[in-house]
Amino acid sequence: MNAVRRIAVVTGAGSGIGRSVALALAEDGWSLALAGRRAEPLEETAALAAARGGAGAEALCVPTDVTSPDAVAALFAAVRDRFGRVDLLFNNAGSFAGGGTPVEDLAYDTWRSVVDTNLTGAFLCAQAAYRQMKEQAPQGGRIINNGSISAHVPRPHSIAYTATKHAMTGLTKSLSLDGRPYRIACGQIDIGNAATEMTERMQSGILQANGTLAPEPVMDAADVARTVAHMAALPLEANVQFATVMATAMPYIGRG
What is the reported pLDDT for 4? 63
What is the reported pLDDT for 198? 67
What is the residue extent of each domain of the chain? Answer: 7-246
pLDDT tens string, the chain, 256 residues long: the values are 444 689 999 999 999 999 999 999 999 999 999 999 999 999 999 999 999 876 667 999 999 999 999 999 999 999 999 999 999 999 999 998 878 899 999 999 999 999 999 999 999 999 999 999 999 999 999 999 999 999 999 898 999 999 999 999 999 999 999 999 999 999 999 999 888 776 677 777 888 888 888 888 899 999 999 999 999 999 999 999 999 999 998 888 866 5
Residues 6+ apart with CB under 8 A from 77: none
Global pTM exceeds 0.75: yes
Amino acid letter at 48?
Answer: L
C-alpha closest to that of 25 among 46, 1, 39, 43:
46
| CA–CA dist 75, 69 (Å, integer) | 10
What is the reported pLDDT for 39? 97
The CATH class that applies to domain 7-246 reads: alpha beta
Enumerate the H helices of the chain as residue ranges. 16-27, 39-52, 69-83, 108-115, 121-135, 159-178, 221-233
Collapsing DSSP to helix, strand or coil, 91 comes out as strand
Following DSSP, what letter does each residue of 167-229 receive, concatenated?
HHHHHHHHHHHHTGGGTEEEEEEEEE-B-SGGGGGGGT-EE-TTS-EE----B-HHHHHHHHH
Q: Which residues are catalytic?
A: 161
What is the reported pLDDT for 2? 41
What is the reported pLDDT for 55? 64
What is the reported pLDDT for 217? 86
